[in-house]
Structure 1
Amino acid sequence: MPLDQAAAAFIENATSKPTKPLSETSVAEMREGVEALIPLGFEREEVHSVEDGIVAGVPVRTYAPFVEPLATVVYVHGGSFTRCGLHTHDTLCRRFANRSGCTVVAVDFTLAPEATYPRQLDEIAAVLDALSGSGKVVLAGESSGGCLVAATALRDRSLSAVVLMLPVLDRDSGTESRHLLDKDYMLTGEQMDWMFAQYAPDAKEDDPLVFPFRANDLSGFPPTVVVTAEFDPLRDEGHAFAERIRTAGGTAEDVCIPGIIHHAPLVPKKIPAGSRVIDDACDLLRSLVS
């Protein structure tokens, strides 16, 4: 399928503005840039309740759906490990709760570079430990949040399910889409190198908890949903990861949303098809936990 027209227009608008090279851009400036995307997110949906709190010392925001929850979803946001938070993903989490029929616990983990690996994984694990014994617990995340989710699932394979949306699984997976699509579709190889330099500056190249795509053993990995995007350089590594889970004897459902780019689910008001990343993930999740 050709590039979605709305996605093409979004790319053209974004790239028409003069920007500094990434090497000259501060983390603070990167964070300011993502704030401008908040009005382009999902419409604010009502949910049964929203509550801010602290779980195991970590700030969280809990969204309860109007129905009896099928499971508790611990949600880990994306943002290159360095940006975003509860406020940027509020409308997305509301939609996730309503569409999935699950309680969503959004984790406000400490961003890089103020904190580096494995601090974020430890905070997510602490939240999961606090929720253990409360029924089915699912771990979900998008983009770099997907990396944190996959790494956590490698450490804790007792989760009821895992949801990976447009996941970052490696600095450079060497897949075809990574090299065909990493120049003209907004997510670049330079950005991938930058984000991992902020998050895990001292990482060993073979550490699967930093680069889950390099894990040697996926046996026992929790039932997994993987959603990718056709014009995302991360597309093929997401699909390959799902295939490796299946080859190891596990369950993995993966779907590719046609025509869209990596950033689409954060700007559904500009790229309406981006909503399918969340909606399809939730529909597939419901089939795993119902």
Structure 2
Amino acid sequence: MASLTEKVPPAVTGAVLRAVFALPGPVKRLVAGASVRRDGQELALDAQLLLTMMRLEGERRLAGGTVADARRGIARGQSYLPKAPARPVRTRAVDAGGVPARLYTPKGLAEGSPLLVFYHGGGWVIGSLDTHDTVCRYLAVHAEVRVLSVDYRLAPEHPFPAATDDALAAYEYAAAHAGDLGADPGAIAVGGDSAGGNLAVVVGLTARRTPDFALLYYPAVDMSVLRPSRDLFAEGFYLTDADMTWFSDHYCPEPRRAEPAASPLVAGDLSGFPPTYLVTAGFDPLRDEGEEFAERLRKAGVPVALRRQEDLIHGFANMWSLGGRFREAASEAAGALRTGLYAGPRGRG
């Protein structure tokens, strides 16, 4: 039976959410309650308000229950935030080496622009091109790039390594057919959030033609070891420790979780990885593994900019249209991508 939340049209829920975020700061603080501090960090009011609204709306866990319910849940959650950048973006379907994909091209972007091959998050089990549509539009507009968003196969119907196989195939297609996509074959980045960040890392380590840049939002890079942040932020901050266990159990069998294609943090040599902007969220179970990966890149001699958005939660890339701290973080990531591709090692001007 549908819950009360599911019976309310997403447009109505979204309008209420945006109205609450438009309130004055002191009123938002009254709604959200006392500030939250953990591990020497204070949760941003915007993030705390969103979590409060999610609880009031009766939102379920990100994962858990049936796969079908989890997929419907993330799709509905994203439908609350349909706002797109003001600049129009044209899209078209692409067969990327046998993998479905969607190409985003901002209005007025010249031929021969840089290209971002993007992998959506969702624990390798949920998420889709549509749940990350606004993320891709934002990056395309604000980084001045074309974005190829990859519709890789999901578990449990297609367990590991299906997603990594699709991710690599789509990237290899993009590298070989950049001109057909209107892009510069000498300025191709990989990127993704969470599980999509995992896939971007695997591609960056294994592709025949190394990407020119990597944009990694709070990547999941090690299923073989649990770090302190999995316990510190196990509950109450959107993504939970239980969610990650559910995702891992559906995606990859235990004996294979220590393979570099599943847990790229354990890869022996990272020296060939592209220059990287890696951003973590302070209140995120995945924080520590992402930051450890950035440190390993640095020690391997890879140019890496690590940024901890210490007052935000997992998933903030999808929340940019709420404004405030979410949009600030989105703007910083888009700026890093634009700089990395237009002024990167290949000397684009």
Aligned residue in 2 for 1:55: 96
* Shift in alpha-carbon separation, 1:22–1:219, aligned structure 2, 3 A: closer
User: Which of the numbers 129, 149, 158 marks the counterpart of 2:200?
Assistant: 149
User: Which of the numbers 31, 47, 52 marks the counterpart of 2:71?
Assistant: 31
CA contact (8 A) 2:320 2:330 kept: no
CA contact (8 A) 1:163 1:224 kept: yes
Is the counterpart of residue 64 in structure 1 residue 64 in structure 2? no
Deviations 1:119-172 (A, max 9, x none): 111112111222224312111100111111112222126111111101111236
Letter in 2 for 1:53: V
CA contact (8 A) 1:40 1:266 kept: no
What CA RMSD, in Å, does the superposition of the two structures yield over aligned residues? 2.3
Partner Cα separation in structure 2 for residue 127 and residue 85 of structure 1: 15
Partner Cα separation in structure 1 for residue 285 and residue 309 of structure 2: 13
User: Which of the numbers 71, 74, 77 marks the counterpart of 2:120?
Assistant: 77
User: Which of the numbers 62, 66, 80 marks the counterpart of 1:40?
Assistant: 80
Is the counterpart of residue 94 in structure 1 residue 145 in structure 2? no
Q: Secondary structure at the match of 2:258?
A: coil
Aligned residue in 2 for 1:119: 162
Aligned residue in 1 for 2:221: 169
Normalising by structure 1, report the TM-score: 0.91
Is the counterpart of residue 131 in structure 1 residue 181 in structure 2? no
State the 1:194 CA deviation: 1.0
Structure with the bigger RCO (C-alpha within 8 Å, sep 6+) is 1
Bigger-Rg structure (1/2): 2
Q: Secondary structure at the match of 1:37?
A: helix
* Shift in alpha-carbon separation, 1:19–1:222, aligned structure 2, 3 A: closer
Sequence identity of aligned pairs in percent?
Answer: 30
Count of aligned positions: 289
Aligned residue in 1 for 2:35: none
CA contact (8 A) 2:205 2:272 kept: no
Q: Secondary structure at the match of 1:132?
A: helix
State the 1:178 CA deviation: 2.6
Aligned residue in 2 for 1:6: 46
Q: Which runs of 5+ in 2 are unaligned?
A: 1-40, 179-184, 343-349
Q: Secondary structure at the match of 1:28?
A: helix
Partner Cα separation in structure 2 for residue 132 and residue 270 of structure 1: 34
CA contact (8 A) 1:147 1:168 kept: yes
* Shift in alpha-carbon separation, 1:84–1:22, aligned structure 2, 3 A: closer
Q: Secondary structure at the match of 1:260?
A: strand
User: Any runs of at least 4 consecutive aligned residues in structure 1 with deviations exceeding 4 A, and if so which?
Assistant: 18-23
Q: Secondary structure at the match of 1:162?
A: strand
Partner Cα separation in structure 1 for residue 123 and residue 329 of structure 2: 18
Partner Cα separation in structure 2 for residue 191 and residue 20 of structure 1: 8
